[in-house]
Structure 1
Amino acid sequence: MSYAHLDAYSRLLRGAHEAAATGHAWPASPRHLIKASWRRSLDAGIDPEGKSAPLVYDLSHIRDIRRTHPLQPLLPLLAQTLSGLAGETRQVMIVTDGDGRVLWREGSHSIMRRADQVGLAAGHQWNETSVGTNGIGTALATGRPVHVYSEEHLMRVLHIWSCSAAPITDPDSGRVIGCVDVSGTASSLHPATVALVAATAKLAETQLALRMHERDERLRRRYEALRGRPGILLSATGRIISGDPSGELGTRVHLGEHARFTGRRLILRDGTVALLEPFADGFLLRPSSSAEPPTLTLSFLGESPPSATFGDHDRPLSLRHAEILALLALHPHGLTAEQLSFHLYGDDGNPVTIRAEIHRLRAQLGDAIAAKPYRLTCPIEADFLELRGLLSANDPASLARAYPGPLLLRSESPEIRRERDELEAQVRACLLRRGAPDDLWAYAQTCNGRDDYEVLERLTTLSPTDPRSAAARSRLLA
């Protein structure tokens, strides 16, 4: 685009932006990609006068989040491929997760200081429902590489920036797991940058596919060593690797939330019933027997003491036993004593202590906990796992009913604190973005919601005769 055309387009964008910001009809529209993105962003309640992307991750936990993300091993490859751009004084390379949350960035100190001012930094979220039209969020929303130029951003504070971004799809799960982005001042970033960013994303997907095939081969060798034991071999994401020579089940078994549960029955597409069991780094589907093992039900959300129900028996739990069961529920493939110790105590943990606690738990739950590695072998129903499913459904009313408060509030386990903070942040964000007054009032009864300034401020806008409005004003004054 020539400078004359670029200047004319900038004038068109400024007029459209002013109209969008004031709620008037647009005198002229930006290109279709941007127009559609502005519509989505405005429908999501984005304020064009917003100042920064929201911080959604506790930065003290960001190292653990990075370590477990599937793109972590590919970071050197991404940085090397885009090093010529990220090394420029006015450009920064960003890598996010599949929800647009920044995990890594690279660039000069001067550009990163400017990026800090708008939240182009670790822990901040850049999907369209958080900051409106931008390279990262629009690439994730459309599922394809995009270049967003200066005034094409909906938020005015981003008009000094231009960005090129491309989503990264995991060939194993088929889900978008991240986004790679190069952002810079409007004059320093050429629109053709998007081609290089797109090629970098494709290179990452190729590497992910190679690693996937290596994992499949390791799993297949272990499966073949079973010698005659019936079952269909699945990857951790439900891809069928072996055991279905006719191909009647297709290429994938939809696991949904079953991947977090052990011993759960599935009805397959051919009508048969199978039992899902962890196997190495994947799963086995075995013919289901008529005997249904008892279900372990965990109630770990809110301020009430943690409890479990196993079969017909209700059991109060110590905090330590609740933490162990929560970690095993979150890691269905199992954990060694050393891993459990690290998740519970960090570097100061002692595996001997964990083995003793597991021994006491097994005295209560029997064969529900297997060893080598430690894992749950019965069907699991847990309030915090159910909450995860509701977050995926983006249903604020159901979320408000299902969330009495944080996960294991008194736990200091690094892993559980990370899970607790992430659940809290996502529930709060969903309710603030889409929740009705009843949903916000329900959240305001939780321990963190009672003094949440933004939630209470929203409730004060209700009718003065509504008792919830008066209660919110009272709490704000206190």
Structure 2
Amino acid sequence: MGRRTVAGLREAHDRVLAGEDDARVSAQIAASWRRAVAQGIDPERQRPRRFREVDDTVRLRTEHPLAPYIPVVTGLLGDSSISDDHLVVVTDVSGEVLWRIGSADALRVAESIEFVEGANWSEGGIGTNAISQCLVTGTPVDLVGGQHLVHSHHGWLCSAAPITDPGTGDMVAVLDVSAPVGLEPVAAGALVRTAARLIEEMMRGDALRRRAQSQPALRAVAQIAVSLLGSRPNVRVGGVVHDLTPRRADILALLTSREQGWSADELAGALYGDRGVPSSVRAEVHRLREVLGPRLDSSPYRLGGDGVSVDVWSVRRALAAGDLTRALERYAGPLLPGSGSLEVALLRAELHETLRGAVLRSGDPGLLARWVDGGGADDMAALEALVAVLPVGGLASSLYAARLARLDATLR
């Protein structure tokens, strides 16, 4: 990336933080900056928050599932042929730095910005960077120069990729390569993504070997995760993802809403109205049972049993416990936004408005910022509430006030 481009990113950074628009800054990066600033991150003087001291981190990382694969990471990415001054970093899913691999010079330069074991490189710990964005999006991320929120990071290029557990699909770590601006971003990103996928394949192979050596494990029923929030409803059984047809997604949404279950007649009426016949429902449920197995009961139809997780249930439980942070983390979007079922639409509105109301009542700037940068992007009431609780004249207040003004002008 040329010097002119890097300088342009720094200029765009300053303009956006001043409340202006700049096409060189993506909506995703700008939203991340706003969230971080709302949580108290200072672009001028920020140092990462610390989870624990280095010695404690060194002891704890021995229990991390990636520990056996760190020699592989070193062999793949620690080679000086990539560059003389790049740094390889592995964090856990909270953003805590667990491992650093690099030359003595690279480690020393990283220490100048506290890119060290035990430091928190999540969005709330140090602002926008490749690691934090990877944690937020769950996808590989490349960031360079002024795309970072904190000014002291503007001389760096960072490429990060998630590493997921092949058995559950859950993220277990983030793999990052960082270097002073100059290393080609495309090359760095490709190396990180390739290394992450190779480690996942090694983890998958090791898990299969362990299962083959354990007869009880072979008899165990696979874990099932049902995802109905957002635009891609699916069921994950073990490591296999089954996309849901619109009608089967509607059926599962209804099953998650009633503990006592549904009869075929009730489901037919809810899904098809007066035209509904139980035989249509039974055919769809039969297809679902091919995926869900005994976790889908009949007479009445009911979803449950050990080893079943549903994202809708996770949000509801978090709301019931008053844990709004967890509720927002689990809320990937509206319930089946493409469904034309009136019953599903009512469930969708109920969950959305319950979460929205709880966030508004909380008055918490971090929660409000997360809401308006996610599912409540056009929520003027939430924007007004956020601006009201932020320090008057502060950077975060100015950013969200400018956004509120633009939305107000658009809606007039």
**Range class of TM-score, shorter chain:** 0.5 to 0.7
1:17 counterpart = 2:5? no
CA distance in 2, matches of 1:252, 1:105: 44
Q: Does 1:248 align with 2:244?
A: no
Q: Which digits, 9 at most, give the CA deviation of each residue in 1:61-87, with x for residues without a partner?
A: 323421111111111111111122587
Contact 1:12–1:30 (8 Å) recurs in 2: no
Identity percentage over the alignment? 29
- Matched-pair contact (CA < 8 Å) for 1:15–1:28: no
Partners of 1:435 and 1:37 in 2: CA distance:
13
Contact 2:86 2:177 in 1 (8 A): yes
What 5-or-longer segments of structure 2 have no aligned partner? 226-235, 240-286, 309-320, 329-362, 369-390, 392-412
Match of 1:65 among 16, 38, 60: 60
More helix by share: 2
Whether 2:316 is the aligned partner of 1:393: answer no
Whether 1:80 and 2:111 are equivalent positions in the alignment is no
Shift of 1:94: 0.4
Separation in structure 1 between the aligned mates of residue 87 and residue 186 of structure 2, nearest angstrom = 15
Query: 2:154 pairs with 150, 159, 172, which one?
Result: 159
Which position in structure 1 is the counterpart of 2:302?
Answer: 271
Cα 1:253–1:150 shift into 2, 3 Å = farther
Q: Return the alpha-carbon distance in structure 2 between the equivalents of residues 90 and 104 of structure 1.
A: 16
Q: Does residue 111 of structure 1 match 2:106?
A: yes
**TM-align CA RMSD:** 4.3
Q: Deviations over 1:72-112 (max 9, x none)?
A: 11111111111225874311110111222111011111211
Deviation at 1:41, TM superposition (A): 3.3
- Report the CA distance shift for 1:130/1:98 in structure 2 as closer, same or farther (over 3 A): same
Opposite residue 66 of structure 2, the aligned amino acid is L
Gaps of 5+ in 1: 225-231, 255-265, 277-282, 285-387, 396-430, 437-460, 462-478
Q: Residue in 1 aligned with 2:314?
A: none
Which residue in the other structure is 1:168 paired with?
163
Letter of the 1:137 counterpart: S
User: TM (normalized to structure 2)?
Assistant: 0.55
> In structure 2, what is the equivalent of residue 125 of structure 1?
120
Letter in 1 for 2:20: A
User: 1:152 and 1:186 mapped to 2: Cα distance?
Assistant: 12
Code of the aligned partner of 2:211? D
Q: Shift in Å at residue 234 of structure 1?
A: 4.2
Helix, strand or coil at the partner of 2:291 = coil
* Contact 1:249/1:270 (<8 A) preserved: no
The separation in 2 between residues aligned to 1:127 and 1:204, in whole angstroms, is: 22
Matched to 1:83, the amino acid is G
Three-state SS of the structure 1 residue aligned to 2:196 is helix
Q: Given the alignment, which residue of 180, 187, 194 partners 2:182?
A: 187
Distance 1:253 1:240, change over 3 A: farther
- 1:233 equivalent to 2:205? Answer no
Q: Shift in Å at residue 44 of structure 1?
A: 4.2
CA distance in 1, matches of 2:74, 2:224: 28
Q: Which amino acid aligns with 2:187?
A: A
Structure-to-structure mapping, 1:311-330, within 5 angstroms: none
What secondary structure is seen at the aligned counterpart in 2 of 1:94?
A: strand
Which of 202-211 and 59-68 deviates more?
Answer: 59-68
1:317 match:
none
2:273 alignment partner in structure 1: none
Relative to structure 1, is the Cα distance of residues 188 and 252 closer, same or farther in structure 2, using a 3 angstrom cutoff? farther
**1:136 counterpart (119, 131, 134):** 131
User: One-letter code of the match for 1:187?
Assistant: G
Residues 288-307 of structure 1: pairs in structure 2 closer than 5 A = none
Structure 2 CA distance for aligned equivalents of residues 35 and 253 of structure 1: 46
Change (3 A) 1:432 1:158: farther
> Deviation of residue 216 (structure 1)?
3.1
* Amino acid aligned to 1:96: T
TM-aligned CA distance change 1:35 to 1:62, over 3 Å: same
Q: Tell me, what secondary structure is at the counterpart of 2:79?
A: helix
CA shift at 1:134, angstroms? Answer: 1.0
Q: CA deviation at 1:48?
A: 1.2
Question: CA 1:86–1:116 in structure 2 vs 1: closer, same or farther (change >3 Å)?
Answer: farther
What is the number of equivalent residue pairs in this alignment? 273
Residues 211, 217 of structure 2: 8 Å contact kept: no
Superposition pairs of residues 187-226 of structure 1, within 5 angstroms: 187-188=182-183, 190-220=185-215
Where does residue 94 of structure 2 map in the other structure? 99
Q: Is the 8 A contact 2:35 2:366 kept in 1?
A: no
Query: Structure 1: which 4+ aligned runs deviate by more than 6 Å?
Result: 266-269
The Cα of 1:172 is off from its aligned counterpart by 1.3
Which residue identity does 2:289 align to in structure 1? Answer: E
Q: Please name the residue that 1:380 is paired with.
A: none
User: 8 Å contact 2:212–2:218 — kept in the other structure?
Assistant: no
Shift of the alpha carbon at 1:40? 4.1
Higher relative contact order (CA 8 A, sep 6+): 2
SS in 2 for 1:100: coil
Cα 1:162–1:223 change in 2 (3 A) is closer
Could you tell me how far 1:139 is from its partner in structure 2? 2.1
Q: Give me the whole-angstrom Cα distance separating, in 1, the residues matched to 2:127 and 2:303.
A: 46
Normalized against structure 1, the TM-score is what?
0.48
Local SS of the residue matching 1:106: strand
Specify the code of the residue in structure 1 equivalent to 2:144: Y
2:74 & 2:187 partners in 1: Cα distance?
Answer: 18
Q: Distance in 1 between matches of 2:304 and 2:112?
A: 55
Partner letter of residue 233 of structure 1? V
Structure 2 vs 1, CA of residues 146 and 272 (structure 1 numbering), >3 Å: closer, same or farther?
closer
Kept in 2, the 8 Å contact 1:147–1:194? The answer is yes
SS of residue paired to 2:118: coil
